[in-house]
Structure 1
Amino acid sequence: MKIAVPNERGRVNQHFGRSQEFLIMDLEGDSIKEQHTVSAAQLQHNHEGLAGLLKREGVDTVILGGIGPAALQALEAAGFNVITGASGEVAAVARDCARGELVSRGAVCDHSHGHDHNCHGQA
């Protein structure tokens, strides 16, 4: 599984649309196999641009803190499994995801879409 997490000094950025960079991680079993950083500095609040960047990186799951409804719609329209409401250290969140222990908390700004996703793509 390949995941993307908005990174802010090693922690999950709580404002998806303002993220300057994302950590892209390949998960294998319950650990991080590989990781690298991609810049999103020129794409802040460009929902389709952010979705396209992550799609080009081969990501299938996006883990984040808070997100607005338009950004969430762009990610879901691009086919991503979206996990909202994550917080803390990026590496710990990724390991929780790999173990199947991370479930979306519906952290959508303005209103909830009622989505309940987890890291294994189940709703």
Structure 2
Amino acid sequence: MTDPRIVRRDELSEFYLSERCHVVEHWNSPDDAQASVARIRVAPGTVTQLHRLRGTAERYLIVQGRGRMEVEGLAPAEVGPGDSVFIPADAAQRIAALGDEELLFLAICTPRFVPECYQALEPEAA
């Protein structure tokens, strides 16, 4: 990255992923391959798809709601606002939104998230 910049909120849009969550990519630029930042929204009662990010570590910062985090190598645990989760590169992971409130968290990836690093680990629906 060579030039400083500000990304305005009105430039961003939310989209739905088959991973069963809504995403706003706040920062994900090819000219800054070191990191990306996304806001993830999971509907109440929803569990995201079991997956791994090949070669990419992730940090979740829980902003709103309660969840049950599952990360390979760690016992499942409940998380809530202010909690952070480190997910090593290549670790299987998923999160469930608990209760009646949406689960909202920031996902910070290093290096930046690219679709090619995503590997779904659930069998395809027949």
Interval containing the TM-score (normalised by the shorter chain):
under 0.3
Task: Kindly indicate which of the two structures has a greater share of residues assigned to helix.
Answer: 1
Q: Which structure is higher in RCO with an 8 Å CA cutoff and minimum separation 6?
A: 2
- Specify the structure having the higher radius of gyration (Cα): 2
TM-score between both structures, scaled by the size of structure 2: 0.25
Task: Kindly indicate which of the two structures has a greater share of residues assigned to strand.
Answer: 2
